[in-house]
Structure 1
Amino acid sequence: MNDQYSRFETEVLPCLDAAYSLARWLVRDEHAAEDVVQDAYLRAWRYFGSFHGGDARPWLLGIVRNCCYSWFAQQKRSREVECDVDDADGPSLDGQQRVETPETVLLRKLERAQVSAAIGRLPVPFREVLVLREIEELSYDDIARVLAIPRGTVMSRLSRARRLLYHDLGDQR
């Protein structure tokens, strides 16, 4: 039992942030996401014997996704809760430290809020692919394993999600 616990702790527990992020994007409620992730970790522990090694993140995110869909079925809703993404400070894309004025902070928060809201408005199949690729940075193959769909379907959904997001954000300007 200690060996299995050590393996679980080493391979699965480091994926907690990714699990919460996916759950939060899908259920769009931070408290529900915590419950979903807790349920997913309990299921992951229960079925850890079926995990045959490799990268545990796609395996766990598949469980999280299934738990999210179970939550949807229990709640009978998927689009009623507002999504809020935490603000992150730090260097800009070119590596230079940003000069933060109240105006730039406000503009950045408004842009992030618009993008978060637009992602939240995507239908779940497109939202989950976009989150797994762009936020969790999973490969197409890992996303295909998480969602149990062909790699080509991942690519087409991701393309469509990006297009929908682009049009949604373009309509707001």
Structure 2
Amino acid sequence: MPRRLQRFEALTVRYLYPLYRYARHLTRDAGKAEELVQETYLKAYQGWHRLRDDSRVKAWLFQILTNCYRDRYRQALRQPAWVELSAATEQEEEHGPVSTATTDPATLLERKEAIQSVQDAIAQLPPLFRMLVLLVDIEGFSYKETAEVLDIPLGTVISRLSRGRQRLRHLLQDYAIQAGYLPAGLPPAPEPDTPIIPLTAYQHRRRTRGEGGNG
């Protein structure tokens, strides 16, 4: 194996799953996520000579994937769309198959419902808000690293992330209270600055589309 390829694999293979997870959240489709990751690694290998700092490998890979996603789905990013997701499939791809030997059905159902609600809420965020929440709150990037990945000012990261989190809180608060994750009587979450579809309405639309075939 060429030394260049050995070094590339040694520094990048550890980020294969985080990249797939990020791509899956963005595309909501396993096949499209795999294609994005493959394209990312191909472009990264082709441009490997341009990376001067090995400590930036992770941010560099995520930046490439983000740009690939933007290029592929530029038109779709301008148009809000309903997306569908199987909670069971998503959970297995995110965390591995659930062990039914050690988890009772009620717990399994509760876990799937929680995952589905969070996924549905994230799916409703505008593309930039969604990327920010995924990069900072799920992938653990710093604000500065996120600004580099998305090629936007640091101040934009801070302000838009705050608004994205506010939207998530607004969407998820009712569910969290009903599920017992938050105490009843909690003050309502602040209204977001732009209208959003209630989570229950979104989930009803998703189920209806699923029952209707391809929708």
CA deviations on 1:65-105 (whole Å, 9 max, x unpaired) are: 0111122037676634424431548xxxxxxxxx8332222
Alignment partners' CA distance in 1, 2:81 and 2:31: 15
Given the alignment of the two structures, is residue 121 of structure 1 paired with residue 124 of structure 2, yes or no? Answer: yes
Given the alignment of the two structures, is residue 86 of structure 1 paired with residue 86 of structure 2, yes or no? Answer: no
CA RMSD, aligned part only? 2.2
* Contact 2:146 2:157 (8 Å CA) reproduced: yes
Given the alignment of the two structures, is residue 11 of structure 1 paired with residue 16 of structure 2, yes or no? Answer: no
3-state SS in 1 of match to 2:73: helix
* Contact 1:29 1:81 (8 Å CA) reproduced: no
Alignment partners' CA distance in 2, 1:129 and 1:80: 20
Alignment match, 2:66: 65
Alignment match, 1:160: 163
Given the alignment of the two structures, is residue 2 of structure 1 paired with residue 2 of structure 2, yes or no? Answer: yes
* Contact 2:132 2:146 (8 Å CA) reproduced: yes
3-state SS in 2 of match to 1:138: coil
Where structure 1 has 5 or more consecutive residues not aligned to the other structure, the ranges are 90-98
Number of matched pairs: 164
Alignment partners' CA distance in 1, 2:139 and 2:153: 19
* Contact 1:8 1:48 (8 Å CA) reproduced: yes
| Identity across matched positions, percent | 37
Alignment match, 2:134: 131
Alignment partners' CA distance in 1, 2:113 and 2:57: 35
Deviates more, 1:154-163 or 1:66-75: 66-75
Alignment match, 1:26: 26
| 1:78/1:57 CA distance change after superposition, 3 Å | farther
Structure showing greater radius of gyration is 2
| 1:128/1:22 CA distance change after superposition, 3 Å | same
Alignment partners' CA distance in 1, 2:123 and 2:85: 6
3-state SS in 1 of match to 2:140: coil
* Contact 2:91 2:115 (8 Å CA) reproduced: no
